[in-house]
Amino acid sequence: MINVAIIAGGPSAERGISLKSAQTIASHLQSSKYKPYTIDITPDGWAEMSSGKKVDLNDFALIDEDGQKRQTFDFAFIIIHGTPAEDGKLQGYFEMKNIPHSACGVLTSALTFNKQMCKDYLRHFNIPMAESMIVKSVVTREDVEREKINPPFFVKPNNNGSSYGVTKVKEWSELEQAISLALRYDHEVMIERALVGSEFSCGVVRQGTEHHVFPITEIIPKGEFFDFAAKYEGASQEITPARISEELAQQCKRRSQFLYQTLGCRGMVRFDYILENGVFFLLEANTTPGMSEASIIPQQAKAYGWSISQLLDTVIEDCLSNKQ
Rounded Cα–Cα distance for residues 175 and 179 (Å): 6
Report the alpha-carbon distance of residue 50 to residue 303 in Å, rounded.
Answer: 33
As a whole number of angstroms, the distance between CA 239 and CA 13 comes to 27
Cite the beta strand spans of 25-69 per DSSP E.
34-42, 45-48, 55-56, 61-63
Q: Name the active-site residue from 162, 201, 236, 256.
A: 162
Marked catalytic residue, from 12, 236, 256, 295? 295
Cβ(41)–Cβ(10) below 8 Å: yes
14 is known as an active-site residue: yes
Asked if 216 and 202 count as a contact pair (C-beta separation under 8 A), the reply is: yes
CA atoms of 59 and 248, how far apart (whole Å): 48
Q: Are 140 and 149 a contacting pair, CB within 8 Å?
A: no
DSSP 253: H
* 3-state SS string for 267-286: CEEEEEEEEECCEEEEEEEE
CB–CB of 165/185 below 8 Å? Answer: yes
Q: What DSSP line would sit under 156-189, residue for residue?
A: EESS--TTTT-EEE-SGGGHHHHHHHHHTT-S-E
DSSP assignment letter at 244: S
Catalytic one of 12, 14, 102, 109:
14
Residue 162 among the catalytic residues: yes
Q: Is 272 annotated as a binding residue?
A: yes
* CA separation for the pair 74, 63 (Å, rounded): 16
126 annotated ligand-binding residue: no
The rounded distance, in Å, linking the Cα atoms of 306 and 233 is: 24
CA 272 → CA 41, 217, 221, distances in Å? 28, 9, 14
174 is in an annotated binding site: no
Binding residues: 272, 284, 286
Binding residues for Mg(2+): 272, 284, 286
| Residues tagged active-site | 14, 162, 295
